[in-house]
Amino acid sequence: MGEEQRSTIGRILDAVDQSGMHYGTGFPMIASENVISPLVRQACDSDLHGRYAEGLPGKRYYQGCDDFDTIEEIGIELAQKVFNASFANIQPISGTVSNIGALKALVKPGDRITAVSTADGGHISHAQMGAVGLRGLDLHTYPWDVDRMEPDIDAAAEMIRETEPALALFGASVFLFPTPLKELADVAHEVGARVMYDGAHVLGLIAGGVFQDPLREGADVMTGSSHKTFPGPQGGFLLSNDGDEKFHRRLNNAVFPGTNSSYHLHHVAGKVVALSEFEAFGEQYARDTIKNAKALAAALASEGFDVLAEDRGYTASHQVLTRHGDTDSGAGQAAAAKLEDAGIITNMNMLPGDTKAMTPSGLRLGVQELTRHGMGTTQMEEVANCFRRVLIDHEDPASVKARVNEIRSDFTEVRYCFSE
């Protein structure tokens, strides 16, 4: 009895191990992923994974929360310090849940909202298919400057004045350069709109002081993920520098009971450890991440790839965009598959002109995880060379994979953190 179930569990755990080996011996280059430190892993792999703590520290519905109150209180203080914010809620279980909570606090069904179109790199939570639609909002998307890969400032300002939204939402999933936030936030405030900035992809770069500073550039609320360029466990943040205590209560209430009941206490504990490590190592990590992204982009261009935004220096974030064929041709999908056969893990992505999400022309690359493992600009040149061998020289992916594994074998430890 139970042999079939034990066999099933064996298959599951084997797949878990194989996934770890796949990422651990290759080049993980998906821009929305990262790895956690040994101490963060220790906090996540704890008894807290099965516990509840509904409410806020000192105001719980359950007993047994005193120790977790200590953890969350430290986390709130650290988040306020790391992000230079007067308000921080560290309970959201993802960046999207942070967005849902922020929208619940800021707007009501039927309100108008402006945001970046998914076709121009906006996140799905900013669309009718995601959190914006869930909240029942009237969505208007910004005119886009393809050359600068950002909202067209003049046209977007005119659109905000004409539509008079209740909320102007900025930020994206394809995020090469800082948003012209101050210019557009000023216009949004002129028409009585709140301003929200989704910093999910670039939150670690913001905290590291190397990207932009949304809470000083006009954002009333900033949301973000705790597991992309901010290198913690999966989760989210809801942040503000508004000094209104009533507004703080509204934000807190939008998270609990608005979007969360239990909020994965083990991940919150890991998030707090990650905040403390970021205080010590985050600024250098953010600088090195951007340095590596710029180096990778330049190296890919030298190898013969079509790297977007050349006139702006390709990137000012952790991301690099490459086009591999005609729009809607599926060339990005084909390139991602070939690269994975060589141990290089990427994702296909829509680029300007693409209209079909499943057959785009491009790739979105991220260097934050390779940087986290200690790779530098020299290794970025080697990564670009492996790309060329697979996609331009059409070498056997198996032979390229051997080189990928060889390079990666020197970069297996997690850096920019404390050792166990």
Question: Which of 235, 260, 278 is the last residue before a domain boundary?
Answer: 278
Q: Domain containing 261 — which CATH number?
A: 3.40.640.10
> What's the pLDDT tens digit per position in 277-300?
999 999 999 999 999 999 999 999
Q: How many CB atoms lie within 10 A of CB 11?
A: 10
| 324 and 372 together in one domain | yes
Q: Which of 152, 149, 146, 223 is nearest to 183 (CA)?
A: 152
For 27, phi then psi, to 5°, come to -105, 100
Nearest-angstrom CA–CA distance, 350 and 175: 13
**Stretch (H or E) spanning 339:** helix 331-341
Q: By residue range, what is the domain housing residue 77?
A: 40-278
Is 395 part of any domain?
yes
Q: Domain containing 318 — which CATH number?
A: 3.90.1150.10
Is 22 part of any domain?
no
| 244 and 384 together in one domain | no
Q: Which residue has the tokens 């609320």?
A: 221
Q: Which of 315, 256, 296 is nearest to 100 (CA)?
A: 256
**Going residue by residue through the chain (420 aa), what tens digit of pLDDT does each one get?**
789 999 999 999 999 999 999 999 999 999 999 999 999 999 999 999 999 999 999 999 999 999 999 999 999 999 999 999 999 999 999 999 999 999 999 999 999 999 999 999 999 999 999 999 999 999 999 999 999 999 999 999 999 999 999 999 999 999 999 999 999 999 999 999 999 999 999 999 999 999 999 999 999 999 999 999 999 999 999 999 999 999 999 999 999 999 999 899 999 999 999 999 999 999 999 999 999 999 999 999 999 999 999 999 999 999 999 999 999 999 999 999 999 999 999 999 999 999 999 999 999 999 999 999 999 999 999 999 999 999 999 999 999 999 999 999 999 999 999 987
Q: Which of 120, 119, 183 is nearest to 150 (CA)?
A: 120
Nearest-angstrom CA–CA distance, 282 and 288: 10
Cβ–Cβ < 8 Å for 344, 255: no
Q: Which of 193, 196, 174 is nearest to 124 (CA)?
A: 174
- What does the pLDDT read at residue 53? 94
Question: Which of 278, 308, 329 is the last residue before a domain boundary?
Answer: 278
Q: How many CB atoms lie within 10 A of CB 105?
A: 23
Q: Which of 118, 119, 115 is nearest to 354 (CA)?
A: 119
Question: Which of 248, 278, 308 is the last residue before a domain boundary?
Answer: 278
Is 187 part of any domain?
yes
Strand pairing of 55-56 and 194-198? unpaired
Is 414 part of any domain?
no
> What's the pLDDT tens digit per position in 254-279?
999 999 998 999 999 999 999 999 99
- What does the pLDDT read at residue 166? 98
Give the DSSP letter string of 7-26.
HHHHHHHHHHHHHHHHHHHS
Query: Total domain count for the chain?
Result: 2
- What does the pLDDT read at residue 420? 75
Name the pTM for this structure.
0.97
Q: Which of 229, 181, 238 is nearest to 201 (CA)?
A: 229
